[in-house]
Chain A
């Protein structure tokens, strides 16, 4: 009977939730009309598979190209007051900034260390000094939010130190932490990420949770009090490790809290959600694939004890209701 399934294999592509717009070629004409903040994710247009020598087609293509070009060539400006200066600290392989301003990101990134932890010691400015982890710095530099400087020496006429290029930032931070080739990819700008601890992904057999992730709109998240994360991400190297063994998964799942789905969830939802879950970020030379791993408890859902019909289980052939007694 599996052939029946085979016959209705959806030929329209993956289900909606699996569509990743970043993997699609898009019609960029929507950018020409996009104004302000009301930009919606475009609908995918029709795909032309070959040129058919009509002016309509070539005009459409030219318009789309021009729209993309215009959008990319839009001049981006950094207000001089809004740039935050950060200084590289070679000993700790981190960077610090004093009272950084100019971006809402600072409300959720970086941390102020306590007396004993601050690498620069407990001077008077410790309270204003915000420390950034390597991946945080690189993300901010790539974004243009932070102007990163080399540590100032006596020879510099400017006490702020020489500006550090993006390449230098990569070289410095990556040189310290080995195997972080995909560092920038770990941080997705759409989400608010806070590392549990500055952990580097391990190449040994054990898989550990590397990051706790909160959604961007998370109301509960505060820097001082994180609250439970929305997701937990474990980073693994695709080339150094293999698909997880039972031991690896058991020990990884053992570190996770018990998070069952709602009790009134439907059967398939319950099973797919599982009662413990983690997201694996499989990194292959900078390309990341995310897989959600959940500990499904099939043994808890005994179909023969369920009173109702399962989801998707249609009433047999005849369909319709009210065919029973008393009609």
Chain B
């Protein structure tokens, strides 16, 4: 199937049946198509052309971060072939437009990469590992897929490690990877707090001294106005949100207050928290504020990820020769949803299975396999065959002793079935997710409320609308939604999936017994989640997924038909404060 989306100026070729029913695949990001070539023209090397500028004194320029708009100009790892723009002032551009249009008709260009990205399925971690560095970068840059195993999310381990070794060797400055910036900021924040506590303590001591008459009021208040002003600025620091951005403002504010510039900018003042500052001259107080670690360009918080180290620095390659001793030990791990989206919906990922030389599995097989691994241990579709001949382990509902389990693992023969974890022990004889026992055909399919299926439906839904959707476990949610991507802006929405059993089937006795999610969430849970989200400035979205009834003997099942039966409805929850709603 080929989709010609001339409205977007985009031709995307898709494989048969890859587009599903009520959720459409987002094919292109026209806005980025418009901006990316411009950026590329203006900055061929990633550095601005300033050659023809007249030499005039300019303030020292901030160190530039990478050009994210250019790096992440493609929203998905697909190639798009836009028609060239027609400029009425340049009639020849019409010819070019016609030429490209006709050539696209005669020989439609493919949107897929010449070689599929490769990943292999790891049953133990239940994720897909991508090890080829080129593929890792491609998947990260185009759509922000996956998480690097040794980094926060973007793969930066190798760069950080090189920079670290280099710094150890010649004592040069470190590298501005996201993790490094974060650590520096935390240290800075810790020093700031210590200093603030010290200043408050000093203030109280002085007040006590004044009250006890040890210090005359005149003496104490002689540096008074200035001192109190500085202290006030200090406590303002404490009051206004001491996020890093404000720290800069405050530091600039202090500079404006006429504190000597050399103190602010050149002197390397390192505060020893335990050292008592004997006198309380205001300039010293300010100087001892840990403003040194704030670089003039220190808006670290506003540069969400300074990313690939020195990527735009043209000298970077000469400076940093790859050290032959370092091997990249990092891989990209994709969640099952991401992998299935890349493989099924986009068709750009080829997943290999251990010890599996045969042709890639069909989408339905892949779906079934992933659904099976949505819970641990993976449920068995058929009667589980004992992997370990230790019958005493399958004790009926007796708690297993840890030693017994580890013994079983140690003595267990290696499992040859690649789809099963080698650590599987038949602890429970019954499958974790109850399967329909009557229907032989639907026995092959996962339960309709299987967690992988629900997650994938939601994942596909938001990806289709153009959101960058990433796991949100750290925020107590299922997914976070980013507009364009995490390097551009913070997530605004946190999604929690709510399985919803509205189909009459789920009200029957069998249906009720087969529900995976039993019992309702109470209001305390909802408030809990909502509070957390408003604390981190996210908006909670309850994503209700209407679970269809199980497939009743329909032999002709495909993934698109399966997914088409799900319905998604988003409900936004926010606290409502009466006081704030009066106008």
- Interface of A toward B, CB cutoff 8 Å: 1-15, 17-22, 46, 52-56, 188, 190-191, 215-217, 230-231, 236, 238, 241-243, 245-247, 249-250, 267-268, 271-272, 274, 279, 282, 284, 289-299, 301-318, 323-325, 327
Contact = CB atoms under 8 A, between A and B. Distances in A.
A52 B38 CA distance: 62
A291 B492 contact: no
Interface string B191-206: 0000000000000100
B572 A215 contact: no
Interface string B286-324: 000000000000000111110000000000000000000
Interface string B203-226: 010011001000000000000000
18 contacts: A6-B474, A9-B536, A9-B537, A17-B577, A54-B204, A188-B578, A245-B520, A267-B483, A274-B572, A291-B573, A298-B465, A304-B27, A304-B30, A307-B30, A316-B67, A316-B71, A317-B67, A323-B39
Name the residue in B71, B486, B530, B572 with the highest tally of chain A Cβ atoms < 10 Å from its Cβ.
B572
Name the residue in A217, A236, A241, A323 with the highest tally of chain B Cβ atoms < 10 Å from its Cβ.
A323
A8 B178 CA distance: 13
Contact of B583 (A217, A246, A247, A272): A217
B536 A314 contact: no
Contacts of A54: 204, 207-208, 211
A246 B502 contact: yes
Contacts of A4: 152-153, 178, 304-305, 486, 490
B308 to A, nearest CB: 11
Interface string B524-563: 1111001000111101010010100000000000000000
Given A243-B526, A303-B465, A324 B471 contact: no
Interface string B483-505: 11111111111000010101000
A320 B461 CA distance: 34
A54 to B, nearest CB: 5
Contact of A3 (B153, B235, B570): B153
Nearest to B34: A307
B110 interface: no
Interface stretch (B123-131, B236-244, B371-379, B386-394): B236-244
Interface of B: 8, 26-31, 38-39, 41-43, 48, 64-72, 75, 144, 152-154, 178, 182, 185, 204, 207-208, 211, 235, 239-244, 301-305, 461-462, 465-467, 470-472, 474-475, 480, 482-493, 498, 500, 502, 520-527, 530, 534-537, 539, 541, 544, 546, 569-583
Given A20-B579, A314-B302, A272 B41 contact: no
A5 B480 contact: yes
Contacts of A317: 64-69, 303, 487
A40 to B, nearest CB: 14
Contacts of A318: 48, 64-65, 67, 69
Name the residue in A6, A304, A311 with the highest tally of chain B Cβ atoms < 10 Å from its Cβ.
A304
A245 B465 CA distance: 25
B240 A12 contact: yes
Contact of B579 (A21, A236, A242, A294): A21
Contact of B582 (A1, A17, A215, A291): A215
Given A5-B491, A243-B523, A310 B243 contact: no
A5 B582 contact: no
A298 B571 CA distance: 10
B231 to A, nearest CB: 11
Contact of A246 (B461, B472, B544): B544
A267 to B, nearest CB: 7
B544 A249 contact: yes
B546 to A, nearest CB: 6
A9 B494 CA distance: 14
B304 A1 contact: yes
A25 to B, nearest CB: 15
B48 A323 contact: yes
B243 A3 contact: no
Contacts of B242: 11-12
Contacts of B48: 318, 323
Contacts of B483: 267, 303, 310-313
Contacts of B484: 303, 309-310, 313
Contact of A10 (B204, B243, B580): B243
Contact of A11 (B65, B243, B462): B243
Contacts of A250: 569
Contacts of B492: 268, 312
Contact of B153 (A1, A296, A325): A1
Nearest to A45: B239
B487 A1 contact: yes
A195 B480 CA distance: 39
Nearest to A315: B69
Contacts of A5: 475, 480, 486, 490-491, 536
Contacts of A312: 483, 489-490, 492
B191 to A, nearest CB: 16
A12 B493 CA distance: 20
Contacts of B534: 14-15, 18
A111 to B, nearest CB: 24
A291 B578 CA distance: 10
B582 A294 contact: no
B1 to A, nearest CB: 19
B520 A242 contact: yes
B546 A324 contact: no
Nearest to B71: A316
A229 to B, nearest CB: 12
A271 B305 contact: no
Given A54-B204, A249-B544, A303-B484, 9 more contacts: A12-B243, A17-B577, A46-B239, A188-B578, A282-B527, A291-B574, A298-B461, A312-B483, A324-B42
A2 B211 contact: no
A56 B530 CA distance: 40
A194 to B, nearest CB: 16
A292 B576 contact: yes
B152 A314 contact: no
Contacts of A216: 582
B526 A246 contact: no
A56 B387 CA distance: 75
A8 B525 contact: no
A6 B66 CA distance: 22
A3 B185 CA distance: 14
A246 B572 contact: no
Given A7-B301, A8-B244, A327 B480 contact: no
A1 B571 CA distance: 25
Contact of A1 (B41, B305, B465, B537): B305
Contact of B536 (A10, A55, A249, A279): A10
Contacts of B39: 323-324
A301 B490 contact: no
A238 B523 contact: yes
A325 B41 contact: yes
Given A304-B26, A317-B66, A55 B211 contact: yes
A121 B144 CA distance: 73
B341 to A, nearest CB: 15
B152 A316 contact: no
Contacts of A327: 42
B528 to A, nearest CB: 11
B578 to A, nearest CB: 5
A2 B470 contact: yes
B82 to A, nearest CB: 13
B571 to A, nearest CB: 6
